Structure 1
């Protein structure tokens, strides 16, 4: 940081030299004046000598000082900026610039702590609600879905362990592999269940079920002035097999479905993407999901987050954040 304050006083040595110079000039002129009065010198000649000395001596001294300044680089009375006023102005400009940078940095620290263009975090009022879909806006009823295919409890568990409860399920939501390729991944987890896995997951109709509160909830939030988005690990197969989803997707302000972007939660990039695409401030968003790992990822990104357990519990937590609305069923 530039040094504050200044020293406008002329250094003592300069004052002494200036006084000596004045005394020399006075002395020379005094001598010539005295000689002229007494008639020792030719009066006109003495006068001219005094006049020339008065002009010549300062010029000679100035030239000497200027040469000294040019050679040594030190500031002297002969320097272009003898008192450092330009440096002073530059210093003050630097100080003002630094102060401005500090203020801007302070402002940014209140609204930004996440790298990237839209990693702004604010502790202001929540203005955006972001929903997961399965387990929040719709029932993800995988167990009943498998039972409806005609399988008993023990078989249901084996199918689930090889598919929905395994990391291979993420490939459905990531949208990189087609249905058969995803099922092949399930079969690798339990080859003995190959026939059952192909039977169950070749058609995902009924995997998700409509919740009656969803559309009234979205409408009530929007009526209360909140923006509403969805952010979900969601497959193209599930979307095609469950057309009712379009009903509430048409109600929200936008959102991210993982298969379209080939990114899944809890990857930080998916949170960055929704904020960048819709110009959202993370700290003014509340994210609602039924999985703890996704809620934690949203919190780490800077969003307020709620783990969905029940409507009543979510309503209470939203109310604490100032998010209230009147739902008309």
Structure 2
């Protein structure tokens, strides 16, 4: 196995605590109502199309037309988008900080994120500026787990996939990276990530 020289991080769910539940707990009275709404109206399948390039406006109008009785909470999804954030996942930021300042690994990020809300993220989370480069799905008009977005990282930043580690909280995204020769880590917690990176020799 070639020596690892590059670490690629996902952002949401790994370094940034984003979850629409934080918003909808303010709108609905019970957790069951929040779950039903996110499972049936503003679904993850609907949201991920915005990560692939569809505009917030088009996505919102499409859903309002389909579910007019839910217009107000549908419009809140992007109208109050910043309320879905609960800060950084500090323990993972500490791991990132250690890799950046105490090792020689190259650091990149690959994120499924809308181009419209990306400027807010860059302003809100200073550690995003620690990466040598970030590939944002909404900007590229493609998304994980499609292979072409991983290839953008490889080509743009001269990354050898066999010398890279990719960290993501989505199992399908990790499996896609493995198919391209990358060493994938399925993120479940910061403690587990630290342990996995120690086993791979990235952290002492």
Shared fold (TM-score, shorter chain, > 0.5): yes
How many angstroms apart in 2 are the aligned matches of 1:124 and 1:215? 27
Equivalent of residue 293 in structure 1, options 150, 154, 172: 172
In the TM superposition, 1:5-84 aligns within 5 A as none
How many angstroms apart in 1 are the aligned matches of 2:177 and 2:36? 32
SS of corresponding position for 1:125:
coil
Equivalent of residue 34 in structure 2, options 156, 159, 163: 156
Equivalent of residue 97 in structure 2, options 219, 238, 241: 219
State the partner residue of 1:134. Answer: 12
**Uncovered stretches (5+) of structure 1, i.e. residues with no partner:** 1-122
Task: State TM-score, norm by structure 1.
Answer: 0.57
What is the aligned-residue RMSD (CA, Å)? 2.0
State the partner residue of 1:257. Answer: 136
Aligned residues: 200
In the TM superposition, what is the alpha-carbon distance from 1:203 to its structure 2 partner?
A: 2.6
**Uncovered stretches (5+) of structure 2, i.e. residues with no partner:** none
Post-superposition Cα deviations, 1:29-85, rounded to whole Å, max 9, x if no partner, equal: xxxxxxxxxxxxxxxxxxxxxxxxxxxxxxxxxxxxxxxxxxxxxxxxxxxxxxxxx
Identify the structure with the greater strand proportion.
2
- CA change 1:183–1:158 in 2 (3 A) is farther
SS of corresponding position for 1:309:
coil
In the TM superposition, 1:104-123 aligns within 5 A as 123=1
SS of corresponding position for 1:144:
helix
RCO greater where, 1 or 2, for CA within 8 Å and sep 6 or more?
A: 2
The answer to whether the 8 Å contact 1:149/1:200 transfers is: no
In the TM superposition, what is the alpha-carbon distance from 1:231 to its structure 2 partner?
A: 0.3
SS of corresponding position for 1:158:
helix
In the TM superposition, what is the alpha-carbon distance from 1:189 to its structure 2 partner?
A: 5.7
In the TM superposition, 1:224-303 aligns within 5 A as 224-242=103-121, 243-245=123-125, 247-303=126-182
How many angstroms apart in 1 are the aligned matches of 2:4 and 2:43? 34
Task: State TM-score, norm by structure 2.
Answer: 0.88
